Amino acid sequence: MSQVNSRLRFIDVGRSVAIIMMLQGHFISHTLSDYAERKANVHSPESFGDVLFTIWSHMRGLTAPLFFTITGVVFVYLLLGGDKAQGFFKQKRVRKGIKRALSIILIGYILQLNYQNLDYYLSGRINQRFFGFHVLQCIGTGILILLTLYGLFRLSKLKRFSVVLMLAGASVFLATPFISAYGDTYLPRNFHAIFQNVIHGPNSFFPWFPWLGFVLCGGAIGAVLREFKDSIRKPLFPVKFFLTFFGIVLVFVGTIKLIGLYIPPEEIMVGRAISSALRLTEVVLFISILMYAERFWKGRNNAFIKMGQNTLEIYVLHVILLYGAVIGIGLTRWYKHALPFEYALLGAVIFVLIFAVLAKYLDHIRAFIGRIKQLIKSPFVRSK
């Protein structure tokens, strides 16, 4: 999903911002010595430094909604650009989407393995955290659900795919408080943890509720951008785009409050569902701003843009380097909550720059690996 129409170059900028926010956010939150204390006081700042941390904490909380939403935007925008006259499974984007989704899910579970636990695995046991439902699993299954809804939409007589996806996303946000209300009673009941974690289980890190809602609503935004692709560069389009969405959110919030009057507990219902809707509103506002910023953006293939075009590779490598996924040794082994503010900040900058350099030369690295593979294969080809 790295090749995006030039009209949507602002989406690559958004993905670059999201991946940078993720990299520095994860590094600081896992290495800053007094992170827990600062986090506990985030709502009652007593100094300017705490105010800055509160702002940073809020923006860090926006990272995942931005990441999931933009995933839906890009995928559906490209999906709807295919030849609609072709059969569902004959469409290139459908086939690529299924392959991409399954590979993302597989990578997600592989990253939850640890080489140092090899003896443990060989004895027939496996850590329950392996069955956790994390970022990649949610994105992968989200893409499969987008494709399923697209297939059903093609069979229906409905005219606006964007409306279908927005209603589906709103339904996920609406259901989230009710799912969360089950507490330690996991869903579906009596199912294996690998299935429970998808909805509400012991290791539900990024379950469908509410995170699938961001993917679906992002897909709705991608469908809108495809429907109005010729209007994106018009001066008032970003304003109309945001105001229209904001109006939808107001209707959604009003509906939630109305339902909350009759279905307790009202506080949980209103708070959690509205929180997701407001986060999504922030993401849409950010996208609207990027629509304007793109008109002044000159960079096309610099390191910053390349980061947004290689989010999967960067995510995988950062999980390995920072947390020690698969190899069992990561930076947090030595620096977990061990760095003072200045060093944590400096480390975060260096961490981001490493991936910026990697992203810029990733195409060259791929080409080099491809040549090595060709050299390895060539003797066998000649022998035949």
Phi, psi of 146 (to 5 degrees): -60, -45
Report the C-alpha dihedral over residues 374, 377, 380, 384, rounded to 10 degrees. Answer: -60
* Among 53, 7, 89, residue whose Cα is nearest residue 344: 53
Where do the domains of the chain lie? 76-297
Amino acid at 105: I
DSSP-derived secondary structure letter, 338: -
Q: How high is the pLDDT of residue 346?
A: 97
- 107 pLDDT band, cuts 50/70/90, is very high
- Token digits of residue 171: 């339904």
Query: Which residue, among 7, 4, 65, has the nearest Cα to 286 in the 3D structure?
Result: 65
* Structure confidence at residue 345 (pLDDT): 95
Contacts of 241 (CB under 8 A, 6+ apart): 224, 284, 287, 288, 291
The model's pTM:
0.92
Q: Which of 12-16, 55-59, 253-257 has the lowest mean pLDDT?
A: 253-257
Q: How far apart are CA 192 and CA 118, in angstroms?
A: 23
Asked whether the beta carbons of 303 and 361 are under 8 A apart, the reply is: no
pLDDT of residue 86: 85
Range with the poorest average pLDDT among 33-47, 271-285, 322-336: 33-47
The DSSP call for residue 192 is -
End-to-end CA distance of the chain: 37
- Residue 383: pLDDT band with limits 50, 70, 90: low
Whether pLDDT at 363 is above 70 = yes
Cβ contact 166:199 at 8 Å: no
In 3D space, the residue among 164, 2, 166 whose CA is nearest the CA of residue 69 turns out to be 166
Packing angle of the helix pair 48-79, 161-180 (nearest 10 deg): 130
pLDDT digits (tens, 9 = 90+) for 292-328: 887 777 666 688 889 998 999 999 999 999 999 999 8
User: What is residue 200's predicted lDDT score, i.e. its pLDDT?
Assistant: 95
What pLDDT is recorded for position 318? 97
C-alpha 40/C-alpha 61 separation (Å) is: 15
Does residue 326 contact residue 110 with C-beta atoms inside 8 Å? yes
Mean pLDDT of the chain: 89
How many Å apart are CA 228 and CA 55, to the nearest integer? 34
Note the pLDDT tens digit of each residue in 145-191.
999 999 999 999 888 999 999 999 999 999 998 898 888 899 999 99
Does residue 265 surpass a pLDDT of 80?
Answer: no
Is residue 286 a contact partner of residue 241, using CB atoms and an 8 Å limit?
Answer: no
The residue behind tokens 């389009």 is 237
DSSP conformation class of 332: H
pLDDT digit string (tens) for 181-192? 888 899 999 999
What pLDDT is recorded for position 6? 45
Do the Cβ atoms of 351 and 27 come closer than 8 Å? yes
The confidence band for 4, taking pLDDT boundaries of 50, 70 and 90, is very low
Mean pLDDT of all residues in 54-78: 93
pLDDT tens across 16-35, in order? 999 999 999 999 999 999 99
Measure the CA–CA gap between 319 and 317, rounded to whole angstroms. 5
pLDDT value of position 350: 97
